[in-house]
Structure 1
Amino acid sequence: MASSPAAPTAVEHDPAARRFLVRLEGHEAELTYHLAGDSALVIDHTGVPAEIGGRGVAAQLVRAAFELARGRGWKVVPACSYAAVWAGRHPEFADLVAG
């Protein structure tokens, strides 16, 4: 049975640890990042346990990072391969992708 995309899940931001996370069904998915200077958020890694995969959780994490960057006036460097693919599929965020 194929999983359907998840309804929006609460995405938490832990700025001290520089990560976003989603807790779902006893599992934790995360996106980690670092800041480059004072104007760019670099997405380093997006990880979703297989038990909660295929539900759009990674997309929710990446969207949250892009929305944070937009709110702060930062660019985004999608160094993580998933984030790079996601950015390519969401032209509404193209203005944020660092050249």
Structure 2
Amino acid sequence: MAAFEITREDGESGGRWLLKSDGHEAEMTYSRLGDSKIIVDHTGVPDGLRGSGAGLALAERMVADMRAEGKGVIALCPFVKAQARKHPEWADVIE
């Protein structure tokens, strides 16, 4: 998998992780659920990044950030749900 630069935009009610590569942008968005959880609701990867591992890179960054912050994740996004099934080691973060 390629090394991607991922940034995080964090606001009062939610935010997103943003991945930029080769003129394309992929994102994973979330909403806050109190102080201890977030709801990941969408992962968008444009055609130009499909198959590159961009979606997985966003998910791994989200899990790492939430683990570091001691927060749980409710995954409404179908992509994140599917990745959580493939990565049982994320069970401490994703419900």
What is the TM-score with the length of structure 2 in the denominator?
A: 0.91
CA distance in structure 1 between the aligned counterparts of 2:94 and 2:62, rounded to whole angstroms = 12
RMSD: 1.1
CA distance in structure 1 between the aligned counterparts of 2:30 and 2:17, rounded to whole angstroms = 9
CA distance in structure 1 between the aligned counterparts of 2:70 and 2:58, rounded to whole angstroms = 19
Matches within 5 A, 1:13-92: 13-16=8-11, 18-92=15-89
- Cα deviation for residue 87 of structure 1 reads 0.8
Per-residue CA deviations over 1:21-60 (Å, capped at 9, x if unaligned) read: 1111111000000110111111110000001111110001
CA distance in structure 1 between the aligned counterparts of 2:75 and 2:64, rounded to whole angstroms = 13
- Secondary structure of the equivalent of 1:55? coil
Q: Matched residues, percent identical?
A: 34
CA distance in structure 2 between the aligned counterparts of 1:47 and 1:7, rounded to whole angstroms = 18
Unmatched segments (≥5 aa) in structure 1: 1-5
CA distance in structure 1 between the aligned counterparts of 2:62 and 2:39, rounded to whole angstroms = 9
Unmatched segments (≥5 aa) in structure 2: none
Higher strand share: 2
1:97 aligns with 2:94: yes
Structure exhibiting the larger radius of gyration computed from Cα positions: 1
